[in-house]
Amino acid sequence: MQGRVVYYLDGGLLIMTVQQIKDLETHIRTEKLPVHIAIIMDGNGRWAAEHNLARHEGHRQGVETVRSTVRYCNSLGIEILTLFAFSTENWQRPVWEVNYLMSLPEKYFQTELPELIKNNVQVKMIGDQSKLPHKVKKVIAEGAEATKDNSGMILNFALNYGSRAEILNAVNCLIEKAFKDGKINQISEEHFSRYLYTKDLPDPDLLIRTSGELRVSNFLLWQLAYTELWFTDVYWPDFGKLELLKAVDAFQKRKRRYGKV
C-alpha cells in the first residue's frame, strides 16, 4: 500500500495516509510543545520473542529506535529528551544480557556522534556512573565531552538510574553538608532539587512508556509530580514518528492544572 501507513489503534485498524501524518505534524507544530519528554523504553525482549529472535536482537533494534526518536524529537523542536536506558535493577538480568546492554552506548556513539554534533545535540547523563564498567564510563564521558558546547536539544541518558537511590543520595549529601557546616536548616523543594541528578533540567512535561506496562518503575519519582503520563502498547522497537506525534497530540489536548483549579 504505497503512501499509506497501517496503524493499530485500540485493537482496531487505522489507516493513515502520509498526508494525514503530515497534517497531524503541522497541527502539532502550531500548539505548545512539551519542553521535556522522558521515555521508558520498554518491550525489546517481548518484541524479539514475537519475531522469534534472540533477546539481544530486540535491544539492537531498540538502539535503532533511539536513533530515529532523537531525530524526530530534534526536528519537532523538543528541547530535552530523557531516555531510561538502564535501571539500577537491571544488574539482576543474566550476565550475558548486562554485558550486551553495556556495549550499546559505544555502538550508539560510533555511528551517531557525527550526526549529534552536526545537529547541535548535547548529550548528558543521569544515574550513578561510579558503578559502571570503566569502558562505559570512558565512552559516555567522551560522548558528553564531544557535545558539551552544543546549544540545541539535550539528549539525557538515564544509565544505572534509580529514583529512590537518587533521592537518598540527595538526602545524604544534605546530611553531610549540615554536619560539615555544623548547622541544620530547613530546605525548600527548590533547594532539594539542586541535589538531584537532574539539577540543571526542568521537570518532564510528558512521560511516555511503551509496551503496555502502567507503572513508573522507580523513574524520576520526584520530577514526575506534575508530568502528563502517556502509555502505549507498542513495543519500543516499533515506536515510530506516528507514535511520538500521537503522544504529543494527547499532551496538547490536556489541560495542565498543577493541582490548581
Q: Which is nearer to ligand V07, 159 or 248 (CB)?
A: 159
Per CB under 6 A, the segment of 20-28, 59-67, 170-178, 243-251 that binds ligand V07 is: 59-67
Residue 144 CB, nearest distance to ligand V07 (Å)?
7
Report the C-alpha gap between 239 and 258 in whole angstroms. 29
Beta bridge partners of 231: 209
Tell whether residue 159 is a contact of ligand V07 (CB under 6 A).
yes
Tell whether residue 101 is a contact of ligand V07 (CB under 6 A).
yes
For the annotated catalytic residues, the residue numbers are 42, 90
Which of residues 34, 45, 105, 127 is near ligand V07 by CB under 6 A?
Answer: 105
Per CB under 6 A, the segment of 99-107, 196-204, 220-228, 239-247 that binds ligand V07 is: 99-107
Residue 16 cell numbers, joined: 493513515
Residue 134 CB, nearest distance to ligand V07 (Å)?
15
Tell whether residue 210 is a contact of ligand V07 (CB under 6 A).
no
SS3 track for the chain: CCCEEEEEECCEEEEEEHHHHHHHHHHHHHCCCCCEEEEECCCHHHHHHHCCCCHHHHHHHHHHHHHHHHHHHHHHCCCEEEEEEEEHHHHHCCHHHHHHHHCHHHHHHHHHHHHHHHCCCEEEEECCHHHCCHHHHHHHHHHHHHHCCCCCCEEEEEEEECHHHHHHHHHHHHHHHHHHHCCCCCCCHHHHHCCCCCCCCCCCCEEEECCCCCCCCCCCCCCCCCCEEEECCCCHHHCCHHHHHHHHHHHHHCCCCCCCC
Per CB under 6 A, the segment of 57-65, 68-76, 168-176, 184-192 that binds ligand V07 is: 57-65
Residues contacting ligand V07: total by CB under 6 A: 19
Selection from 256, 251, 254 nearest residue 39 by Cα = 251
Residue 164 CB, nearest distance to ligand V07 (Å)?
20
Which of residues 47, 72, 86, 197 is near ligand V07 by CB under 6 A?
Answer: 86
Q: Which is nearer to ligand V07, 28 or 121 (CB)?
A: 121
Per CB under 6 A, the segment of 24-32, 61-69, 187-195, 214-222 that binds ligand V07 is: 61-69
Tell whether residue 143 is a contact of ligand V07 (CB under 6 A).
yes
The dihedral region occupied by 46, where left means phi > 0, alpha psi between -120 and 50, and beta the remainder, is alpha
Tell whether residue 85 is a contact of ligand V07 (CB under 6 A).
yes
Closest residue to ligand V07 in the complex (CB): 62
Tell whether residue 127 is a contact of ligand V07 (CB under 6 A).
no
Q: Which residues bind ligand V07 (CB under 6 A)?
A: 41, 44, 59, 62-63, 66, 85-86, 101, 104-105, 108-109, 123, 140, 143, 157, 159, 236
